[in-house]
Amino acid sequence: MTTLEQTLKSLVPQQAKGVAKSAVRGYGSLTATWRPLPDFLVLGTKRGGSTSAWRYLIQHPQVMPMVTRWEHLKSPHFFYWHYDRGLDWYRGHFPSVAARNALQRRLGRKVITGESSPYYMFDPRVPARVARDLPEARFIVLLRDPVKRAYSHYWERVDNHVEPLPFARALAAEAERTAGEPEKMAADPYYYSRAHDWYTYRERGVYAPQLRRWFDAVGRDRVLIMVSEDMYRDEQEAMDQMARFLGIESERIPDTTQHNYRAYAPMDAAVEAELREFYRPHNAALAELLGRELPWR
């Protein structure tokens, strides 16, 4: 935490948080010239382990987190929610060149920084923006069994008190809830669609078209594809794989806690069977795109 953050957080607790955030963001924007853009993004998928991957990465001594640590912030959600604020606002979230250089001198190794937002993978406007604004960055994607991903996504929305429907009815309502939203997004570059973000339980698991957009925009060699189930089977191997991809040294992860884990009732067998059948051709298309077999059936 920066000295400015510590000072502002010593104010009246209920008032300090908003004042401090605004002050730090304003200071960050004013000093944007001395703040490099991120070296990497964790793109998603939602409920695929991106938060865990992010927490593993920021434990690495060569990875600097964003300049504010309130609420374990992992993203400013810039490329879809705040894109109208501009690159100076975005740069203001990242460590200064001076801070990075000081850490590099101390470690004797290069230092990188990044962020993580699972909606970056899904919003069709984001790949082109990222390709333009971050021409040297690298990207990490975690893909989870799409059936389990959909169910986990649903329960997150229930826990957030924005999903009143049972799972089967929510799946059935997805098309109606999201009707017209892609067109609004295409027409307005700054439009944020809650329905497209919140209620796309089924569509978010159709991975191949999402990845093709990213491959077309930034190139296949700049995107690391990882399987979420593999990461949770061996967190250290996953961290080592990410480190190699990002060009930093392998380091032992002190804390391998699985973040944002939710326990919930088993899925209805008929609903699960329908989803398995729905995703079968999409999983086959994904396997062909990636040139590898996937563990989901």
The fraction of the chain above a pLDDT of 70, given in percent, is 87
Ordered by start, the domain boundaries in the chain are 39-66+117-290
What pLDDT is recorded for position 32? 59
Phi (first) and psi of residue 119, to 5 degrees: -80, -15
- Specify the 3-state DSSP secondary structure of 63: strand
**In this predicted model, which residue has the larger pLDDT, 96 or 261?**
96
25 pLDDT higher than 80? no
Is it true that the peptide bond before 3 is cis, omega within 30 degrees of 0? no
4's tokens? 């400015």
- Specify the 3-state DSSP secondary structure of 119: coil
pTM exceeding 0.85: yes
Q: Find the mean pLDDT for residues 212-237.
A: 97
Predicted confidence band of residue 15 (pLDDT cuts 50, 70, 90): very low
**In this predicted model, which residue has the larger pLDDT, 91 or 13?**
91
In 137-262, DSSP assigns E strands to: 138-143, 223-227
Predicted confidence band of residue 257 (pLDDT cuts 50, 70, 90): confident
**In this predicted model, which residue has the larger pLDDT, 110 or 263?**
110
Q: Check: CATH 2.60.40.730 for 39-66+117-290? A: no
262 pLDDT higher than 80? no
**In this predicted model, which residue has the larger pLDDT, 14 or 105?**
105
84's tokens? 């109208």
With tokens 């944007």, the residue in question is 32
User: For residues 73 and 76, what is the distance between their CA atoms, to the nearest angstrom?
Assistant: 8
Of 33-37, 55-59, 221-225, the one with minimum mean pLDDT is 33-37
286 pLDDT higher than 70? yes
255's tokens? 């804390």
Report CA torsion sign: 232, 237, 242, 248.
Answer: positive
Neighbours of 231 (CB within 10 A): 24
CA 47 from chain centre, in angstroms, equals 10
Note whether 250 and 57 are within 8 A (CB). no
